[in-house]
A and B are shown apart, each in its own frame.
Chain A
Amino acid sequence: MDALLQLDKATIRFGGLTAVSELDLQIGRNELVGLIGPNGAGKTTAFNLITGVYAPTSGGIFFDGRSIAGSKPYRITARGIARTFQNIRLFPSLTVFDNVRAVFHLHLRGDVRQALWRGKGYHAEEKSIAGRVMTLLDIFQLGKFRDEPAKSLSYGDQRRLEIVRALAATPRLLLLDEPAAGMNSTEKVELTRLIRFIREQFQISILLVEHDMQLVMGICERIAVLDYGVKIAEGTPEEVRRNPKVIEAYLGD
């Protein structure tokens, strides 16, 4: 098993509704995969399965060869999967700096006791964390907003900050849930550049759930198409574009 993430017939049912049915999906190392489908196809549910919001009814989910099905979201994040949200979910009352810093507790060596004792080790660690936070913020040109509350940022900056915050968890797999939602075409071009940049700079895999076909077709190497919870197609953007099933799903008969 060489894939970083492997979904093995992952299924989830809510009562009588099968939201995702026997989904097989593989994401390799440093690969950029797109997951598309019409409204209500189960994309976000698939996402929630991977991130541990839901546990699969049947089937397996493996990350780096180990099962993560049914793990708690915070454990999965600690393992190396970080995500962003469709409707931005920053910590609004924290500053930009603290939004990213909050995630760094994952890399803390000490715990409450160290925070209370405030010894030498504590200060050294806080200082190194502050440095790493600022490096991350500066890479994404957010350094100048460090003391602003996160809610005061513009929409595009909030999206970027959310990605920075996810990257602070040093993930090996980054899940982006409709990052282009609510963006105009200039911002989308910017976003495309950003996603490519992240992949090269941080050498991580990215799974992109997206509505905007143009964006997905533009950057993904491989695309999986969901419809009514079932994977109806998978392949390169070109293959997917020509697949009659996909056309039918999107345009209807």
Chain B
Amino acid sequence: MNTSQPRARWSDKLAQGCRSIRIAFLGLAALGLQYTKTSLLIAIALSFLVSLVADRINPYWLYISYDIAISIIMAVSLNLINGYTGQFSLGHAGFMAVGGYAAAMITNQFGHLNFFAADGIFAVALLAGGLAAAATGLLVGLPTLRLRGDYLAIVTLGFGEIIRVIFQNMNSVGGARGLSVAHGWTNFFWSFGLVAVTVYVVASLVNSTYGCGFIAVHDDEIAAEAMGINTTKYKVTAFVIGAFFAGIAGGLYAHAKQFLTPGGFGFMQSITFVVMVILGGMGNTIGVILAAILLTLLPEGLRYLAGIEHVPGIAQAFPLGWIGDTRMIIYSLLLIVLMLTRPQGLFRLRKRKT
């Protein structure tokens, strides 16, 4: 391998990466977590503007930005269930799978109709994926949300596995071979526009009088019930809304990767989202967004570190080849260290005043 080439590519990509991350942050900053419709519209408009110049962004980083958006949607929606409402769900990837497969089936079937420059059918597919996941959430949530703590965690874990096994054995969606998705329609506008919608919905819910109920259920279920809060209804609501956005994220994922396999929605995937929520500080939307970005970038960043050994001069002074080989081990160790040192979450911001 040419030694000078990786260096140029390396710094170039990093700079471009930083730029697109900054743009993403700008969108979030505009949203400002002000929970107003205006900021929501501004954020959506911003992501639309960025998507117009998307072809000037390095495709690799563009691709990573979709990953980031999907992670944010997953983590923020899971945060409504795990963080705010305090119901420990371990099956979030299962809802993502339902949404992903549903949306992919629709675009594979009707994608050629091409009305509204293809985006129309994509919107319908995403929405259908979200609704399918929400319906599944209702189906799973109604009987199980009477369970508490560990029991709920185990049931949702089982649910996630069931979903995976079902898709694995459904020949109509390719079974274990996976399903190719014909259209790669996920772009910056759809991914970050939907991030904005997700953040808006979750944030405006928990910051309303109605939404105080979610946190009340989390804090003390008996007291909440005694204070007139229908705890079951609140829990199911959180579960269904969370599942809906997980389904939408699944649709984005399907049309970004253009290939779905049941194995991609396994237990480990659910755990990754739970880690984002815990790391961000349960019930802290901004923290969870940052954690989702960090945990999506971390493996990529470590991949870059692996390239360091090719940088001239460094290879002789420091033998760094091991970083590349042990990338995933470092990732897990970092998680362990973070959990030990910051069990309350990396970003415990002061609660904003109402």
Contact = CB atoms under 8 A, between A and B. Distances in A.
Contacts of B36: 118
B215 A85 contact: no
Given A101-B209, A115-B208, A118-B36, A83 B216 contact: no
B229 A74 contact: yes
Nearest to A165: B227
Contact of A108 (B201, B210, B237, B351): B210
Interface string A42-60: 0000000001010000000
B119 interface: no
B218 A93 contact: yes
A98 B215 contact: yes
A98 B212 contact: yes
A105 B220 contact: no
Interface string B187-213: 000000000000001001100111111
Q: Which label, helix, strand, loop or mixed, suits the secondary structure of the B interface?
A: helix
B344 to A, nearest CB: 12
A240 B275 CA distance: 60
Nearest to B241: A112
B313 interface: no
A125 B133 CA distance: 32
Given A74-B229, A95-B354, A169-B228, A105 B209 contact: yes
A102 B215 contact: yes
Contacts of B212: 94, 98, 101-102, 105
B227 to A, nearest CB: 5
Contacts of B220: 89-92
A149 B351 CA distance: 9
B215 A111 contact: no
Interface in B102-125: none
B137 interface: no
Contacts of B230: 72, 74
A89 B222 contact: yes
A126 interface: yes
B210 A112 contact: yes
B213 A105 contact: yes
B237 A112 contact: yes
Q: Quick one: which of B37, B227, B283, B351 has the most chain A CB within 10 A?
A: B227
Interface in B262-290: 283
Given A94-B216, A118-B204, A77 B209 contact: no
A73 interface: yes
A104 B223 contact: no
B224 interface: yes
Interface in B143-165: none
B219 interface: yes
A102 B227 contact: yes
Contact of A93 (B209, B219, B224): B219
A176 to B, nearest CB: 13
A106 B211 CA distance: 12
Interface residues of A, number: 44
A232 B122 CA distance: 73
Contacts of B210: 105, 108, 110-112, 114-115
Interface residues of B, number: 32
A200 interface: no
Contacts of A117: 37
B9 interface: no
Contacts of B56: none
A162 B222 CA distance: 14
Contact of A115 (B205, B225, B351, B353): B205
Contacts of B201: 116
Nearest to B215: A94
B204 A169 contact: no
A73 B229 CA distance: 9
A21 to B, nearest CB: 25
A102 B209 CA distance: 6
B229 A105 contact: yes
Contacts of A101: 209, 212
A122 to B, nearest CB: 8
A156 to B, nearest CB: 19
Contacts of A106: 228
A106 B209 CA distance: 10
Contact of A77 (B222, B227, B283): B227
B196 to A, nearest CB: 14
A142 interface: no
A78 interface: yes
B206 to A, nearest CB: 9
A78 B213 CA distance: 15
Contacts of A63: none
Contact of A97 (B35, B213, B219, B354): B354
Interface of B: 35-37, 201, 204-205, 208-213, 215-216, 218-220, 222-231, 237, 283, 351, 353-354
Interface of A: 51, 53, 72-74, 77-78, 82-83, 85, 89-95, 97-98, 101-106, 108, 110-112, 114-118, 122, 125-126, 129-130, 147, 149, 165-166, 169
Given A108-B210, A114-B210, A125-B209, 16 more contacts: A53-B222, A82-B227, A82-B228, A89-B220, A90-B219, A91-B220, A98-B212, A101-B212, A102-B213, A102-B224, A105-B212, A115-B208, A115-B209, A115-B211, A126-B208, A149-B351
Among all A-B residue pairs, the 5 with the closest Cβ atoms: A102-B212, A77-B228, A115-B208, A89-B223, A91-B219
9 contacts: A74-B230, A105-B228, A106-B228, A108-B210, A126-B208, A126-B209, A129-B209, A147-B353, A149-B351
